[in-house]
Chain A
Amino acid sequence: MAKAKLTFADIGVTVTVPMGTRIIEVSEKVGAGITYGCRESDCGTCLTEIVTGMENLSEASVLEQATLAEKKAGSNMRLACQTLVLGDATIKPGY
């Protein structure tokens, strides 16, 4: 299975993950600063800044886009509970 490197900039940890892994599946297990609330794109708690590799992430669903808009999130932001890793990326907490 194709792999990608997901780096959590706030804690200096890089995890090699199968492509298609959701950020939420990894970030809690390494103690990254991203925190979660509803885990279904409604609350916006897991707002995440994409430092590099935005092009290597899945596209935001309509629901995620709505929450990002409600949070007035910048174009470099995603929700970690929704975003699939499709290639190398570096991320950090969005708050």
Chain B
Amino acid sequence: MNGQHMKNEAIAVTNKVHWIGALDPTMRTFDVILKTPNGTTYNAYLVRGSEGVAVIDTVKAERADQFFTRLEAVARYHEITAIVLNHLEPDHSGALPELMRRAPQAKLYISDAAQLMLKALLNNNDIDYIPVTTNDSISLGDCTLRFLNTPYLHWPDTQCTYLVEEGVLFSGDVFGCHYCDELLFNDRVGDFRFSFEYYYNHIMRPFKAYVLSALELIEPLPIQLIAPTHGPILRDHPQHYVQHYRELSTPHLHLERDRDTKSMIIFYISSYGNTMHMAEAIRDGAAEVGGFRISLYDLEGGEVEPFIDLVEEADAILLGSPTINGDAVKPVWDLLSSFSKINVKGKVAGAFGSYGWTGEAVRMIDDRLRGLKMRVPLSGLRIKLIPSADELQDCHRFGQDIGNFLIGKPRAREIDMSQL
């Protein structure tokens, strides 16, 4: 569980690969959003070929001493011919400047998208590098490193590197987790299942579509071992983790029903039943359009996490809130603040609510929905206090219009900007 007893030794991973990373057993929060109850590892690797040595990724600057000590145990700096960075986040690029200073002859290989980030991260415009993409490769004599462009896992720059002759996938953060165990290998360390899924859910989940694209490149490879940048090295049944990523990234709702059936969820919360009555009228209007499923949920009766699971696979989200003290109510913001855990970009959205005297909530929700890159085709619907019969008709039409928009038959409109 910690690095106290582990000497700063390089650990043999395969015939040609050594682990030269760093242990960070005392870290408790990573990147603000992740809890790390037993710390993490920053995995870096050294590949020795007959005609060159490559270093794959580095470590966080504060742990660079471990990295350099381990590197020096298996190679001399003048032997290093290639440095590959699969991901430029500081926990992997932190020791890069010093490594390049010690091994100035080494060529740096990064993804296309990493080029602009490299300069911004290192504040140095004079770095020489070679951008690479899928199917580019470099030779170390009897070793070939082939690159796979796997963007947004979880930054735009991320890539994987495959050691062809040994079937080793240096996967960057993909298949990684924050789990610190000096035994290093998945068949020796403790139970890290929670850490693996927790990491996926907080890091990869918003990028599921990109995960599925990356798997198209990864799955055909005859992988013998996965060497991620955090957590255990996956040498026992590595394909199990590839398969697990596919399961985690495949929409569950689509497994259970017709892939083409769209769905709308209407969330509301109501002080005196007025916003609830609006929600019901909107639901009835949307139902009249037909062709998609509708769920109606009172936020007061549920919890955020399961609702987020539903939102992730819904095509349209409507949110109803009363205005209290000039704001939408906390359960609405709690839900909305969790939307960034998933990908909601492009989903159809809308807001509605009853109010007493000022009614700010609806416009605030509209703004948040637009800020999340959701499509808000109609300005939110606000009704003062108890909806009249005519106002419930407005709700009905609101539901119809959103429903028609959802099924790709938006009402053709000509409007003046002043009406928006």
A residues adjacent to B (C-beta < 8 A): 11-18, 21, 25-26, 28-33, 35-37, 45
Query: How many A-B residue contacts, CB cutoff 8 Å?
Result: 55
A14 CB contacts on chain B under 8 angstroms: 413-415
A37 CB contacts on chain B under 8 angstroms: 373
Within 8 A of A (CB), among B361-420: 370, 373, 375-379, 405, 410-417, 420
- B35 touches A (CB below 8 Å): no
- Other A-B pairs, 11, CB within 8 Å; known A13-B412, A31-B378, A45-B373: A11-B377, A11-B405, A12-B411, A12-B413, A13-B410, A26-B417, A26-B420, A28-B370, A28-B376, A30-B420, A31-B375
Contact B375 A33 (CB under 8 A): yes
Residue of B348, B378, B420 touching A15 (CB-CB under 8 A): B420
Knowing A11-B410, A14-B415, A16-B415 are in contact, say whether A32-B420 is a contact too (CB < 8 A). no
Give the residue name and chain of the A residue nearest to B349 (CB). Answer: A31
Give the interface SS of chain B, mostly helix, strand, loop or mixed.
loop
Contact A15 B415 (CB under 8 A): yes
A16 CB contacts on chain B under 8 angstroms: 414-417
Contact A18 B417 (CB under 8 A): yes
B417 CB contacts on chain A under 8 angstroms: 15-18, 21, 25-26
Give the interface SS of chain A, mostly helix, strand, loop or mixed.
mixed
Query: Would you give the shortest CB distance from B348 to chain A, in whole angstroms?
Result: 7
Residue of B345, B348, B412, B413 touching A35 (CB-CB under 8 A): B345
Query: Would you give the shortest CB distance from A84 to chain B, in whole angstroms?
Result: 14
Give the residue name and chain of the B residue nearest to A26 (CB). Answer: B417
Within 8 A of A (CB), among B161-220: none
A35 CB contacts on chain B under 8 angstroms: 345-346, 373
* Cα-based distance from A37 to B373 in the complex (angstroms): 8
Contact B416 A15 (CB under 8 A): yes
A-B pairs with beta carbons under 8 Å apart, 11 shown: A11-B410, A12-B411, A13-B410, A13-B412, A14-B414, A15-B420, A16-B414, A16-B417, A17-B417, A29-B376, A32-B375
* Cα-based distance from A19 to B141 in the complex (angstroms): 63
Knowing A31-B348, A33-B346 are in contact, say whether A13-B415 is a contact too (CB < 8 A). yes
Give the residue name and chain of the B residue nearest to A29 (CB). Answer: B420
B379 CB contacts on chain A under 8 angstroms: 29
Query: Would you give the shortest CB distance from A82 to chain B, in whole angstroms?
Result: 18
B414 CB contacts on chain A under 8 angstroms: 13-16
A13 CB contacts on chain B under 8 angstroms: 410, 412-415
A28 CB contacts on chain B under 8 angstroms: 370, 376
* Cα-based distance from A33 to B414 in the complex (angstroms): 17
Query: Would you give the shortest CB distance from A6 to chain B, in whole angstroms?
Result: 9
* Cα-based distance from A14 to B345 in the complex (angstroms): 23
Contact A36 B415 (CB under 8 A): no
Contact A36 B373 (CB under 8 A): yes
Contact B373 A31 (CB under 8 A): no
| Most chain A CB inside 10 Å of its own CB: which residue of B345, B373, B405, B417 | B417
Contact B373 A12 (CB under 8 A): no
| Most chain B CB inside 10 Å of its own CB: which residue of A17, A29, A32 | A29
Contact A31 B412 (CB under 8 A): no
* Cα-based distance from A18 to B417 in the complex (angstroms): 8
| 10 closest cross-chain pairs (CB), A and B | A31-B377, A12-B412, A35-B373, A29-B420, A31-B375, A11-B410, A17-B417, A14-B414, A16-B416, A28-B370
Per-position binary interface string of chain B over residues 216-247, scored 1 when its CB falls under 8 Å from any chain A CB and 0 otherwise = 00000000000000000000000000000000
B420 CB contacts on chain A under 8 angstroms: 15, 26, 29-30
Query: Would you give the shortest CB distance from B366 to chain A, in whole angstroms?
Result: 9
